[in-house]
Chain A
């Protein structure tokens, strides 16, 4: 079974530029998550989708971050404009459904973003 795919794996941009990350979840997984992992920290949930609807985006900085999952399959996360503090690894995860008690989250390898 193929895992969660993410691209690119690495990205270096200058501040105020824009960047987009792509995630393809495991086939059949209805729930998709984007996490931000700053160096020395644990992952922090940015946004969670159930099919193509948003479940939770309470920690997404909406003035600069946006995410979509138009067809309920793959997803893109965009930052515009980027700030130095956005340097982090962006992890995508997916699960069959909602509910931590029932459905394991499977993580992709992440995209490492460096903002200079």
Chain B
């Protein structure tokens, strides 16, 4: 079954420092990969996604992620963190359903990484 592992439950960085959030996935074929951000009391917002092509993906708010098939990873990066980036970040894989299950795909999320930004 498809799964996503986010090894870091909580990360603290200083404002202006660089950031890398780790994500490893388990999937038999080329995956659809996503990063979402969830601020307190808010729903999830899509930061970026990877389906195919260029393995370095640019997203909103200055985030980028790199797909590495050999490492089954899709790590999220930002060169300089702002205080407003403090939130919880979720990596997700698009898991294909069988035709009996209705076809298409569904999102399978990791457990998330909470980011704290120190001034």
Give A contacts to B, CB under 8 Å.
3-4, 40-45, 48, 55-56, 58, 91, 93, 98-101, 104-110
Contacts and interface: CB of A to CB of B under 8 A. Distances in A.
A41 B111 contact: yes
B104 A55 contact: yes
Interface residues of B, number: 25
Interface in B11-65: 32, 34, 41-46, 51
A104 B107 CA distance: 11
Given A42-B4, A100-B107, A107-B44, 7 more contacts: A40-B112, A42-B92, A43-B109, A98-B103, A100-B32, A101-B94, A109-B42
A44 B107 CA distance: 8
B10 to A, nearest CB: 11
A99 B109 contact: no
What is the interface of chain A mostly: helix, strand, loop, or mixed? loop
Contact of A56 (B34, B90, B97): B97
Contacts of B42: 109
A110 B107 contact: no
B101 interface: yes
B109 A42 contact: yes
Nearest to A42: B109
Contacts of A105: 46, 107
B104 A100 contact: yes
Given A42-B90, A99-B105, A109-B41, A104 B97 contact: no
A56 B95 CA distance: 13
B46 to A, nearest CB: 6
A56 B111 CA distance: 22
Contacts of A48: 102, 106
24 contacts: A4-B43, A40-B112, A41-B111, A42-B90, A42-B92, A42-B110, A43-B44, A43-B107, A43-B109, A48-B106, A56-B97, A58-B101, A91-B43, A91-B44, A99-B104, A99-B105, A100-B32, A100-B94, A101-B94, A105-B46, A105-B107, A107-B44, A107-B45, A108-B43
